Structure 1
Amino acid sequence: MNTSFRISKLSKSDKASFVALMSKAFSRDPLFQHLFGDPEHDLKANRRMIAFVSFMFDKSFLLHEEVRGLFENEKLLGAFVVEKPHANKFQSIRGGLFLIGRVLPLLFLLSWQTLRLLNGYMRVTRSAAPTWTHHYLIMIGVEPESQGRGVGKALLKHLLNMVSADQNSLGVALDTENEENVNLYRRFGFALSRETEFNDLPVYCMFYQKDSSYMSAPN
């Protein structure tokens, strides 16, 4: 990793940087465009996407998910949100109640159809995940101007080291709608566990298992 890079947990004060970063990183993402429209050519689509990313950031703190970012000279270049497998049940219930207050503003920007699609997508992808205890990579993004500098690679290595150090987790699952990402994740030890589709959108469900005997799918 570049010695000028620093990876650390994000705090609530990093929200604006996180939202700006992820909104740019996911502006061409197939799922986001399918749900919200094209934010580069539609102002309303851009507002919907920003509202959703903002909600995801708030949710991560309320549900005690792990949010980490890569900084260079205090500038956020990349980040990921990962769901931990052993969150405190009381904290999760309490966080879920507070989360309702964060959902309400979304209802003024997102249609019921979009919310229904989001729920349907979660059902499809979570059903493809292994039944044993694991982390779930909710989202990972890199500032477009910083792509090719090893930011994503550093974040993924950090995530896998974090998962490997957790004795309660057997690995990490993720989903991507970009076919070109499949081989990228394979290089980090992920295997394609299921290829499916959601609302005519291809979805590639992948899993990294800590057991070294777990072999990735062939190219």
Structure 2
Amino acid sequence: MSTSYRVSKLTKSDKPLFVPLMSRAFARDPLFLHLFGDSQLDRRARRRVAAFVSFMFDKSFLLHEEVWGVFENERLLGTYIVEKPQASKLNVKGLLFLILRLVPLFFQISRTALNLLNSYMRVTRSAAPSLTHHYLIMIGVTPEAQGKGIGKALLQHLLNTVHTDQKSHGVALDTENKENVHLYQRFGFTLCSETQINDLPVYCMFHPKNIT
């Protein structure tokens, strides 16, 4: 990766960079297509995707999650959200804000999509190892920067973080794209389980700390 790139932790002020990047990065993601429709062709689907991505970003600052990204100068090229292994605790103010952020999402996303999301989270979390671990929630690279080593840099940064965390035994992730399985396997992830949710294939993977 070019020395002009830097990996930095995102702050709340980076939301205007995060939302359009992840909305575009996940435009062809099988789960997003299943949940929201084709955001490249449908304006309403585009609004639903943006609302969901926006919520995920806000949620990360309330729960025990971090958002990291690769920047070229001030341009965000790729980013990920990771849940750390320590239990999260919301105070009353944080819980109220989370509820307030959920309300508009309910009006953007259908009940069917919300039920599918709940099923997805339940199935994928139950497939993860019982060991204390990080969980990779989202990772994406802007289409113009794909193939330039940005995704590799993000994954390597994540793995380095996990390996230096004494409380973590590894990192789990889920993908609906079978091509991604081989990509993650090259980084040391193993396929834990393969399932389906509403005919959508889901591949649950784990990278234990002792694999380099």
Q: Report the TM-score, using the length of structure 1 for normalisation.
A: 0.93
Q: How many residues align?
A: 212
**Measured at CA, do residues 124 and 65 of structure 1 come closer, stay the same or move farther in structure 2, by a change above 3 Å?**
same
User: Residue by residue, what CA displacement relative to the aligned partner does 1:3-46 show, whole Å, maximum 9, x if unpaired?
Assistant: 11100110111001000100000000000000000001111111
How far off its partner does 1:94 sit? 5.8
> Which residue does 1:187 correspond to in 2?
186
Q: The residue matched to 1:3 in structure 2 has which SS?
A: coil
User: Residue by residue, what CA displacement relative to the aligned partner does 1:125-162 show, whole Å, maximum 9, x if unpaired?
Assistant: 11100011000000000000100100000000000000
> Which residue does 1:163 correspond to in 2?
162
Q: The residue matched to 1:62 in structure 2 has which SS?
A: coil
Question: Match for 1:39: what amino acid?
Answer: S
How far off its partner does 1:88 sit? 4.5
Question: Match for 1:144: what amino acid?
Answer: P
**Measured at CA, do residues 36 and 7 of structure 1 come closer, stay the same or move farther in structure 2, by a change above 3 Å?**
same
Q: The residue matched to 2:172 in structure 1 has which SS?
A: strand
> Which residue does 1:103 correspond to in 2?
102
The 2-side partners of 1:96 and 1:83 are apart by 18
Moved over 2 A (4+): 91-98
Q: Report the TM-score, using the length of structure 2 for normalisation.
A: 0.96
Mind listing any 5+ residue stretches in structure 2 that lack a counterpart? none
User: Residue by residue, what CA displacement relative to the aligned partner does 1:50-92 show, whole Å, maximum 9, x if unpaired?
Assistant: 0000000000001131100100011000000000011453x47
Root mean square deviation, CA, Å: 1.4
Q: Is the 8 A contact 2:77 2:150 kept in 1?
A: yes
The 2-side partners of 1:57 and 1:199 are apart by 26
How far off its partner does 1:211 sit? 2.0
> Which residue does 1:14 correspond to in 2?
14
1:70 aligns with 2:70: yes
> Which residue does 2:140 correspond to in 1?
141
Q: Is the 8 A contact 1:64 1:92 kept in 2?
A: no
> Which residue does 2:200 correspond to in 1?
201
User: Residue by residue, what CA displacement relative to the aligned partner does 1:176-198 show, whole Å, maximum 9, x if unpaired?
Assistant: 00000001000100000001111
**Measured at CA, do residues 93 and 179 of structure 1 come closer, stay the same or move farther in structure 2, by a change above 3 Å?**
farther
The 1-side partners of 2:41 and 2:53 are apart by 18
Q: Is the 8 A contact 1:125 1:205 kept in 2?
A: yes
**Measured at CA, do residues 168 and 188 of structure 1 come closer, stay the same or move farther in structure 2, by a change above 3 Å?**
same
The 1-side partners of 2:121 and 2:91 are apart by 18
The 1-side partners of 2:200 and 2:146 are apart by 25
Between the aligned residues of both structures, percent identity stands at 68
The 1-side partners of 2:167 and 2:199 are apart by 36
Q: Is the 8 A contact 2:63 2:88 kept in 1?
A: no
